[in-house]
Amino acid sequence: MYEHDVIVVGGGGAGLRAAIAAHEEGADVAIVTKLHPVRSHTGAAEGGINAALRDGDSWQDHAYDTMKGSDYLADAPAVDTFAQDAPEEVIQLEHWGMPFSREDDGTVSQRPFGGLSFPRTTYAGAETGHHMLHTLYEQVVKRGIEVYDEWYVSQLAVTDEDDPNERDCHGVVAWDVQSGEIAGFRAHDGVILATGGPGQAYDHTTNAVANTGDGVALAYRAGVPMEDMEMIQFHPTTLPSTGVLISEGVRGEGGILYNSEGERFMFEYGYATNDGELASRDVVARAELTEVQEGRGIEDEYVYLDMRHLGEERITDRLENILHLARDFEGVDGLEEPMPVKPGQHYAMGGIEVDEHGETCIDGLYAAGECACVSLHGGNRLGGNALPELLVYGARAGRHAAGADMPEPKIQTGPEPDAEREDLGVPVGAPGARDAAVDGGAVEHPDSDPKAIVEATAESERARIETLLEREDGVNHADVRSDLQESMTENVNVFREEGALKQALEDIQDARERYQDVYVADKSRTFNTDLQHTIETRNLLDVAEAITMGALARDEFRGAHWRKEHQERKDDEYLKHTLVSWNDGEPELWYRPVILEGDEQTYEPKERSY
Amino acid sequence: MSTQTPETETETEQPSSTSPQQRRMEKKQAKKDQREADEAAAANEIQGETVELKVFRYDPEIEGKEEPRFDSFTVPFEKGMTVLDALIYARDEYDSSLTFRHSCRQAVCGSDAFFVNGRQRLGCQTQIADLDGPVRVEPLPHQEVVKDLVVEMDHFYDQMESVDPFFDPDETPDGELEEQRQDRENRENIKLSTRCIWCGACMSSCNIAAGDNKYLGPAAINKAYRFYMDEREGEQKRQERLEIIEDEHGVWRCQTQFSCTNVCPKDIPLTEHIQELKREAVKQNLKFW
């Protein structure tokens, strides 16, 4: 068994920032990650990092834009904390040597981004995430923080009280991908999940293949609610053939969207007559698909994003990476031709329910970054708000887990017995009961000694993996995964209809049934990616189901969530978060009110116009 | 384009009666015609085409797999298909034990560097249509093979860490919100060096690194360059960095063969960076006279 004060699961931006913060508090920290940290998906972020740094801007304005962008589904304490902490975090990165793009006076550049009332997006060319990830990893190396890379975490060691609010997390179980060794990791002070997004629930996504929602599913099975899972952001500019992202920076710098008639549709068809291409992402994504559906798309699939008029000098200075991506992955020269783009799954606004310190309802279990939902992004995340989120909330989770003295959180977490519940009338699946082998939320423990709990969990995990490996034939997980991805893209996309959502839930149930017979063809203990992908697929099933359940229940139009039969935002009914929790039975869907009272103002819902 | 029939490039002699410019124009036109013909041919032939992959296989603990061998997979070819796409198809459809690293599939995570048709390349960045068939995929040379296409990266990471790969200024501004200034020109100078994605292609292509296990190698030296050339770093750290790169297994081992520069998927001029650091070292040594 390995022992540390704080164990961070995941080596992307949030995990690295959390580890650095915990280390600065004096904790012995270890990062356990299925990829080497520099392989993490934070490296693919392109656009930038929002923070109010300049005269004429303020954290209040940043908070207001964020709340408005969220379509009033964000919690004000999360938004205010975020906007207040972001500037210091960005300058901290600068002090750590991050190669930001610069102005003539040597200060970091900022540029306009969608939904922002001030050009407050700092950036490093069109490869901001790459530079941020490497800068953070450099600091981890400098501090000598221990990294278990290519170790896959497959279970949490949590006590087995009946009420999730009373459970404690004492560590994780992981296996060494290279050797197959399965080991317990005891965390004296806390476990921080920073495992990134679940984009692989869809087949057209900007997310890496590794983004399988592992942390969300782990926390869910341990009893933590998943919050606002239906709120999936579709990025308006992804390359049609691969889903590779074309940064919002292109539109920020003045890139223009055209339909097949050569019309600048954002203005000419009135989707966003004030802000045009720089409207919020949900608005632009719907506009593009409407154009395609009305026959003004190119090849009935995509529209054009044109940046040629910006000139070669500006493009190579600020968007050079976009030229490489368009050339390598779509065969298009962005200096000579417009780039084909269409909406693709990009970001999960929802995730593991946490408070402002990143803590879940389970004592000692934290989450940060895209896998978490402190409820900062609500119904729609503004471009440039993901990277500061993982800095701000990664750092806070790290500090709190390491024992820093922090004020009482304003955001509540955990299942509530008296909450308003909803029965969808459609069968949904219990994650543990339908698994292929021994599984469940908490393992029953002989005593309450933390070490014994971690060891008992590791033992049950060894048995489960043994069962999976012993099975001689059955269903290939890759078939289950691709059917799931296709159904989600077909039925739970930008435009949502009741019938299709129910179809998706049926498909997910069907996939769960088949998953019961899944088997791992590769019997090797050495670098068994077959086994790893099989377990990831189970995580995707749980996450996809929560996305779809939330989407079916929320019969209104808010942020990224559009329902054909319900074309209005219903503030009187739906100023509330959707929560899906599972506690040894069927998944339950319930609600918690949104908090609109902030530090200095109460955010009054207004119509979003761009 | 058929992947079965290798293309052959033949240099044709130009008649000497025409001017150099005419010859260049003709050559350009010929290239353009060839490209258009290739594209037209590709458009006609894609339907129903397949590509043959020959993939290196090895698993140290499974009987019958511990002897290295090549497996062939026939994969349906689609326009735009990359080597990584073809590998994923082969794994998901034919043999789920086929093992390789990959994640972002957009040339930034650096995990899918392989030896494709005799050259280090990222699988996700390499179009099948640009290769001669059959496509031969092997693990990176000069690195220990863990299984199939997965190589041991620890040595590479150790070399990266040996150059103190982190920013280390003498002091940072007092105010929490006060920035260090960096000249645009200085950022431009280090820009290419900051693009490294740690894929290891350069190290694998380097003959010197292959023969000298202690040689820092192009990636690590480039990382040192990234900080040494950054005007925000402290003078003391610059001296320390020079000492690291001037070690007997440092920059002076480079024999400017350019193989690292040739294979770098991010077009980093690695050889040039190594030469610049050699010049810096000489300059510093002269100062002590």
pLDDT digits (tens, 9 = 90+) for A14-49: 999 999 999 999 999 999 999 999 999 999 999 899
- pLDDT value at residue A201: 98
CA distance A39 to chain B (A): 4
Percentage of chain A beyond pLDDT 90 is 92
pLDDT of residue A430 exceeding 80, the answer is: no
Confidence label for B16 from pLDDT (cuts 50, 70 and 90): very low
- Whose tokens are 């002076």? That residue is B252
A439 has pLDDT over 50: no
* CB-CB under 8 Å, A522 with B97: yes
8 Å CB contact of B166 and A138: yes
In 3D, which of B129, B148, B122 has the Cα closest to residue B46? B129
Altogether, the residues listed in chain A come to a count of: 610
What is the chain B residue with the closest CA to A96? B167
Strands (E), A400-487: 421-422
Torsion of CA A132, A135, A137, A139, to 10 degrees: -140
Residues of B in contact with A100 (CB under 8 A): 182, 187
Q: How confident is the model at residue A130 (pLDDT cuts 50, 70, 90)?
A: very high
What are the tokens at A327?
A: 């050339």
User: Look-up: residue for tokens 């780039």?
Assistant: A339
- Answer whether B179 sits within 8 Å of A94, measured CB to CB: yes
Q: Are A88 and B176 within 8 A, CB to CB? A: yes
Q: Which of B99, B110, B178 sits opposite A39 (nearest CB)?
A: B110
> Over the stretch B152-164, which tens digit does the pLDDT of each residue have?
999 999 999 999 9
The pLDDT of residue A338 is 97
**Does the structure show a pLDDT above 70 at A440?**
no
Distance from CA of B21 to the nearest CA of A (A): 25
Q: What band does A610 get if pLDDT is binned at 50, 70 and 90?
A: confident
Residue A345 has pLDDT above 90, yes or no: yes
Minimal CA–CA distance to A288: which of A307, A266, A320? A266
pTM listed for this prediction = 0.93
Q: What is the mean pLDDT of residues A326-348?
A: 96
pLDDT surpasses 50 at A151: yes
Is A561 labeled as catalytic in the residue annotation?
no
Question: What are A256-307's pLDDT values in tens digits?
Answer: 999 999 999 999 999 999 999 999 899 999 999 999 999 999 999 999 999 9
**pLDDT confidence tier of residue B289, bands split at 50, 70 and 90:** low
B146 vs B19, residue with greater confidence? B146
Confidence of residue A91 (pLDDT cuts 50, 70, 90): very high
Closest CA to B120 of B207, B224, B190: B207
Q: What is the pLDDT of residue B20?
A: 55
Residues of A in contact with B181 (CB under 8 A): 105-107
Q: Contacts of residue B146 in chain A, CB cutoff 8 Å? A: 178, 526-527
* Average pLDDT value for residue range B102-128: 97
Tell me the percentage of chain B whose pLDDT exceeds 90. Answer: 73
Residues 507-566 in A contacting B (C-alpha not used; CB under 8 Å): 520-530, 533
Q: What is the pLDDT of residue A85?
A: 98
Residue B46: the pLDDT is 38
What pLDDT was estimated at residue A291?
98
Q: Which positions in chain B touch A521 (Cβ < 8 Å)?
A: 95-97
Q: Which residue of A has its CA nearest to B88?
A: A478
Confidence of residue B25 (pLDDT cuts 50, 70, 90): low
Q: Residues of B numbered 131-150 whose beta carbons fall under 8 angstroms of chain A's beta carbons: which are they? A: 146-148, 150
Give the per-residue pLDDT at A606.
92
User: Is the bond preceding residue B173 a cis peptide, omega within 30 degrees?
Assistant: no
Q: Is the pLDDT of residue B283 over 90?
A: no
Give me the residue from B146, B153, B230 closest to A97, CB to CB.
B230
Q: Which of residues 290-309 of A touch B (CB under 8 A)?
A: none
Q: Which residues of A touch B64 (CB under 8 A)?
A: none
- pLDDT, tens digit (0-9, with 9 covering 90-100), for B29-67: 676 566 556 655 544 443 458 999 999 999 999 988 889
Question: Is the pLDDT at B23 greater than 70, yes or no?
Answer: no
Lowest mean pLDDT among A141-150, A265-274, B170-179: B170-179
Neighbour tally for A364: CB within 10 Å: 22
CA distance B106 to chain A (A): 7
Q: Does B250 touch chain A (CB under 8 A)?
A: no
Task: Give tens-digit pLDDT for A476-507.
Answer: 999 999 999 999 999 999 999 999 999 999 99
pLDDT, residue B32, reads 59
According to DSSP H, which parts of A25-163 are helical? 59-69, 76-95, 128-143
Question: Taking residues A205-232, what's their average pLDDT?
Answer: 97
B161 Cβ under 8 Å from any chain A Cβ: yes
The pLDDT value recorded for residue B41 is 53
Residue of A335 and B48 predicted with greater confidence:
A335
Mean model confidence pLDDT for chain B: 87
Q: How many angstroms separate the most distant Cα atoms in chain A?
A: 70
Q: A421 near A589, Cβ under 8 Å?
A: yes
- Catalytic residue from among A251, A346, A445, A558: A251
The verdict on A131 touching B (C-beta cutoff 8 Å) is yes
pLDDT digits (tens, 9 = 90+) for A513-532: 999 999 999 999 999 999 99
Question: What is the average per-residue pLDDT within A128-132?
Answer: 98
Q: Rg of chain B over CA atoms, in angstroms?
A: 23
Residue among A391, A392, A388, A360 at smallest CA distance from A373: A360
Question: Mean pLDDT across the stretch B60-77?
Answer: 93
Instruction: Please give the span between the terminal C-alpha atoms of chain A, in angstroms, as a whole number.
Output: 55
Task: Name residue A344's beta-bridge partners.
Answer: A235
Q: Is B63 on the interface with A (CB under 8 A)?
A: no
- pLDDT over threshold 90, residue A432: no
Minimum Cα–Cα distance from B232: chain A residue: A97
B50-57 vs B135-138, strand pairing mode: parallel
**Taking residues B99-110, what's their average pLDDT?**
97
Write the CB contacts of A556 (distance below 8 Å, at least 6 apart in sequence): A563, A566, A568, A569, A570, A573, A574
Compute the distance between CA of residue A558 and CA of residue A555 in angstroms, rounded to an integer. Answer: 9
* Separation CA A63–CA A66 (nearest Å): 5
pLDDT of residue A586: 83
| Residue A434 known to be catalytic | no
Residue of higher predicted confidence among A92 and A431: A92
Q: Which residues in chain B are closer than 8 Å to A527, comparing Cβ atoms?
A: 99, 146-148, 150
**8 Å CB contact of B166 and A97:** yes
Over range A70-82, report the average pLDDT: 98
